[in-house]
Amino acid sequence: MRATFARAALLLLATRAVVPAAEKEKGSKAEAGKTKATWWGHAAWVVKTPGGETIAIDPWLTNPKAPAGATQPTQLDAILITHGHFDHVGDAVFFYYRSCSEIYSAFELCTLLATDKCNGMNMGGSFTIKDVTVHLVPAMHSSGFGDGKSPPGYGGPAMGYVLSVEKGPVLYHAGDTDVFGDMSLIAERYHPTVAMLPIGGHFTMDPVGAALATKLLKVKTVIPMHFGTFPALDGTPEQLAKALKAEHVSAKVEEAKPGDTLKL
């Protein structure tokens, strides 16, 4: 029991290092193309900011669609995990030990990961790392964590992340979610310009749902993800483009192939 309290205290101490810095966002002027996002397939991204920060989101870099032979990053400054499912926690613990990265996730998921430097947070929280302010926002999904053999542990809520990059985009990674009405609140509060949205269906929204999400988010660019990894995830970027047209949404579909680096 004492060990549990000590661990909770450590986690809280780690979280105290997190400093909201809304001021940083004020007056920042976007410079197109200086932020780079490499898609590793599925929901896995490695984002490099103009200030030199390297951030991995849902780093399952060994997923079936990961680019063959690509060199994995040797240094990650931060790892953001949207929820506890294996296809999102991915190789986070491996990268944590390899590059001493800071992990950020739901408080409960942090307690289940085998690391002692995990920043446990929750929806509504924000933190700043160099030139990026990150906000944790809701997602409509589940978040059990386990090895698939025994019942999963409670991983807290599933979440999305909004990355407000100084001199760059406001990038929303939705994690796994269905479309939900409060995406319009995400738009109102954080003004995302680019959204990475799941479109595969089955576990998340499909292309029609993602088109509606794009409308609510008011983003200029939508990047489809979480499709094609498994047969059940059968939504396609073409279906998304068609659904956007039907919704009279003019956002551009930025389609990436695993291994592509997008300049945002």
| Rounded least distance, CB 96 to Zn ion, Å | 20
Q: Is 13 helix (H, G, I), strand (E, B) or coil?
A: helix
Query: In the complex with Zn ion, which residue's Cβ is closer, 61 or 170?
Result: 61
Q: Are 56 and 46 in contact (CB under 8 A)?
A: yes
Query: In the complex with Zn ion, which residue's Cβ is closer, 43 or 216?
Result: 43
Query: In the complex with Zn ion, which residue's Cβ is closer, 166 or 176?
Result: 176
Q: Are 89 and 108 in contact (CB under 8 A)?
A: no
190: which residues sit within 8 A by CB, 6+ positions away?
135, 137, 162, 164, 170, 172
Phi and psi (nearest 5°) for 45? -135, 150
Query: In the complex with Zn ion, which residue's Cβ is closer, 18 or 179?
Result: 179
| Rounded least distance, CB 82 to Zn ion, Å | 8
| Rounded least distance, CB 42 to Zn ion, Å | 7
Q: Which residues bind Zn ion (CB under 5 A)?
A: 87, 176
Which two structure tokens, joined as six digits, stand for 261?
Answer: 């680096």
| Rounded least distance, CB 43 to Zn ion, Å | 6
| Rounded least distance, CB 60 to Zn ion, Å | 9
What is the side-by-side order of every strand in the sheet holding 261-263? Answer: 118-121, 102-106, 78-80, 54-57, 45-48, 36-39, 261-263
Distance from the Cα of residue 129 to its chain's centroid: 15
Element housing 171 (H / E): strand 170-173
Query: In the complex with Zn ion, which residue's Cβ is closer, 87 or 206?
Result: 87
| Rounded least distance, CB 88 to Zn ion, Å | 6
Residue 68 CA to residue 45 CA, distance in Å, equals 15
Residue 169 CA to residue 60 CA, distance in Å, equals 24
Phi and psi (nearest 5°) for 243? -65, -35
Query: In the complex with Zn ion, which residue's Cβ is closer, 85 or 215?
Result: 85
